């Protein structure tokens, strides 16, 4: 089994071909997906998708790009959805200083509310960070010192220091298509040194399609190409990567693991 731990199935390029996207994922061996509902307006759509598709789970949050308009000041809306049987994570949330689509103070405030929801619910936190390594880790480390939580730095493509600090406080790294890019030698060197039991696979579909599909619409079926390159980086068989990253996923997302066991 391969798991795509982070995709956006309601985005253009995927939503209009839902059945085809799911079928191609299964054909490639990708049997589970976590759809990230990254806007408040998209939460009902994401939950409904997970309700009708047994291979899809849902995470709910407000992307930092939306924090200016939809940023949260209270974890209650997240906690209300956290009890839903198909909602398995909080996020994505975090800081994005590359685009700065939302004021940085609003990004940080909303980020902290999401962390509080993860702490209260026990669900893992899905973290987005871009050009904001230091502030991201300062917020995460301060919160972790107050009350433990689990989570993943999704679409990891940042510095070695960020990876080391995230691992040190118990977080996972989401490895996606960027790992396969020709100019990602530094990223591959960093990932090579990270513990395999802290890595999960993802696509971030419809974005960041891996080689050989770079520039095209990404989709969960392409997770297998990330697994292939990760196997090369780690020097282990691809089957081992698929087994270990799936085990890692179920450990990080225990609610999904319980649902799969119950359905078996």
pLDDT in tens, 38-54: 999 999 999 999 999 99
> Strand, helix or coil at 196?
helix
Instruction: Tell me what percent of the residues of the chain surpass a pLDDT of 70.
Output: 100
Average of per-residue pLDDT values in the chain: 97
**DSSP symbol at 65:** G
pLDDT at 24: 98
Range of the domain at 192: 2-263
Quote the strand ranges of 176-240, DSSP E: 199-201
pLDDT at 211: 98
pLDDT (tens digit, 9 = 90+) per residue, 90-107? Answer: 999 999 999 999 999 999
Question: CATH number for the domain including 194?
Answer: 3.20.20.140
pLDDT at 10: 96
pLDDT band at 241 (very low <50, low <70, confident <90, very high): very high
> Strand, helix or coil at 127?
strand
pLDDT at residue 16 greater than cutoff 90: yes
pLDDT at 13: 92
**DSSP symbol at 218:** P
* Cα–Cα dist 91/38, whole Å: 7
Q: At what angle do helices 160-168 and 185-193 cross, to 10 degrees?
A: 20
* Cα–Cα dist 35/9, whole Å: 6
Question: pTM of the predicted model, to two decimals?
Answer: 0.97
pLDDT at 216: 97
pLDDT at 210: 98
**Number of domains within the chain:** 1
pLDDT at 264: 87
* Cα–Cα dist 28/225, whole Å: 10
Cis status, amide bond into 92, omega within 30 of 0: yes
Tell how strand 87-96 and strand 125-130 pair up.
Answer: parallel
Angle at 193 between CA 190 and CA 198, to 5 degrees: 95
pLDDT band at 28 (very low <50, low <70, confident <90, very high): very high
pLDDT (tens digit, 9 = 90+) per residue, 155-171? Answer: 999 999 999 999 999 99
Alpha helices in the chain (DSSP H): 18-27, 43-52, 67-70, 76-82, 104-121, 133-146, 160-168, 185-193, 223-234, 238-252, 254-263
């Amino acid at each position: 089994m391969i798991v795509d731990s982070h995709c956006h199935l309601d985005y253009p390029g995927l939503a209009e071909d839902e059945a085809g996207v799911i079928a191609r994922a299964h054909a490639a061996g990708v049997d589970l997906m976590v759809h990230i509902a990254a806007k408040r307006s998209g939460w009902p759509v994401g939950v409904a998708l997970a309700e009708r598709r047994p291979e899809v789970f849902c995470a709910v949050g407000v992307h930092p790009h939306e924090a200016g308009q939809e940023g949260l000041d209270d974890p209650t809306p997240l906690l209300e959805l956290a009890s839903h049987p198909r909602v398995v994570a909080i996020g994505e949330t975090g800081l994005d200083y590359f685009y700065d689509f939302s004021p940085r103070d609003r990004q940080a405030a909303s980020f902290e509310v999401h962390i509080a929801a993860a702490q209260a619910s026990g669900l893992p936190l899905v973290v987005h960070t871009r050009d904001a390594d230091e502030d991201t880790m300062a917020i995460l480390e301060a919160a972790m010192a107050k009350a433990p939580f689990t989570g993943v730095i999704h679409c990891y493509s940042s510095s070695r220091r960020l990876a080391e600090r995230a691992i040190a406080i118990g977080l996972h790294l989401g490895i996606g298509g960027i790992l396969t890019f020709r100019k990602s030698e530094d990223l591959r060197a960093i990932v090579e040194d990270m513990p395999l039991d802290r890595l999960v696979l993802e696509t971030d579909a419809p974005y960041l399609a891996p080689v050989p599909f770079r520039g095209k619409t990404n989709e969960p079926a392409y997770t297998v190409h990330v697994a292939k390159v990760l196997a090369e980086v780690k020097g282990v068989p691809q089957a081992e990567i698929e087994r270990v990253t799936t085990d890692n996923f179920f450990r990080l997302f225990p609610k999904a693991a319980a649902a799969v066991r119950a359905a078996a």
